[in-house]
Amino acid sequence: MSIAASTLYVVATPIGNLDDISARALQVLNDVDVIACEDTRHSARLLQHFGITTKTIACHDHNERNASAGIVALLKDGKAVALVSDAGTPLISDPGYIVLREVRNAGLKVSPVPGVSALVAALSVAGLATDRFVFEGFLPAKAAARQERLRRVVDEQRTLVFYESSHRILASLGDFCQILGADRDVTMAREITKKFETIHSTNLAALRAFVEGDPQQQKGEFVLVVSGAKVVADSIDSDHVLALLLAELPLKQAAALASKITGANKNALYQTALAMKELGKEAGGNVQGKADDN
């Protein structure tokens, strides 16, 4: 395969095990004129391992806008450039979007060199539905924003995929349990392809206990693959069931029982119950719910 002039190659690199790099990726990295790296020091270890001496330049979150102009200039000058991130496929929760957009806007060619992606690797071993899935990437660092993002996907029926870091894993799993439901199926893929790789499938409550109980499981990089919301039968109106139960039961019990009857998410039903209760008060109606432990 010969390298094409004035082409940006988007090259996937290993996420841990260096043997996962493809023969084509090695050839491209060796033959292009310049390699644009998320971190030149990090990529240097990969390049040195394979004896690649191609010139490198930095292209990361903090300089991507300026770096993109230089990359476009190189391509217009007939050079071939490879774009790599620290690990995995560029642009997948990694820098590169601005560069790619500017290169395409300039009418220049881009070519993918596919390979490893933590997203796909985790999905392939999760044991959950993979025909349709939603990739959420990293959740917000702050708890309130993270919880709000989770509320947006609580009723999503497709499999959910998240990235998470070691210093937020326990807090995030706590939010998952609270908002998505403790009994949701989940697979945690930690340190994929590395020495301490862990693939652990259970439910969210058990996973949080597993991670909390073993400090080793709190280290590294995580992919969390979570089952989607259960499909609620069209013939069952969860709001109607909830309204009937609220007349006889406290809020939490009504929401829990309505969830078992209809298959709807318990936490979502609890929020609906709170809204029903407030509306009932405002209207002077009887959808008050019994005194509960709210």
Domain ranges within the chain, ordered by starting residue: 7-116, 119-226, 238-283
Overall CATH class of domain 7-116: alpha beta
Report the CATH number of the 119-226 domain: 3.30.950.10
Q: Which helix (H) or strand (E) holds 135?
A: strand 133-138
The pLDDT tens digits of the residues spanning 9-62 come to 999 999 999 999 999 999 999 999 999 999 999 999 999 999 999 999 999 989
In the predicted model, what is the mean pLDDT of the chain? 92
User: What pLDDT does residue 209 have?
Assistant: 98
DSSP 20-33: GS-HHHHHHHHHSS
Write down the pTM of the prediction.
0.78
- Mean pLDDT of all residues in 206-210: 98
User: What pLDDT does residue 77 have?
Assistant: 98
Higher pLDDT, 211 or 294: 211
User: Per-residue pLDDT for 69 more than 70?
Assistant: yes
Strand partners of residue 10: 83, 112
User: Per-residue pLDDT for 108 more than 60?
Assistant: yes
Q: CA-based angle 258:261:267, to the nearest 5?
A: 40
User: What pLDDT does residue 285 have?
Assistant: 53
pLDDT band at 124 (very low <50, low <70, confident <90, very high): very high
Whole-number Cα distances in Å, 137 to 163, 200, 212, 256: 5, 19, 22, 30
User: What pLDDT does residue 277 have?
Assistant: 81
- Mean pLDDT of all residues in 221-248: 85
DSSP 39-104: -HHHHHHHHHHTT---EEEE--TTTHHHHHHHHHHHHHTT--EEEE-SSBSTTSSSS-HHHHHHHH
Assign 203 to helix, strand or coil. Answer: strand
Assign 207 to helix, strand or coil. Answer: helix
Q: CA-based angle 242:246:249, to the nearest 5?
A: 120
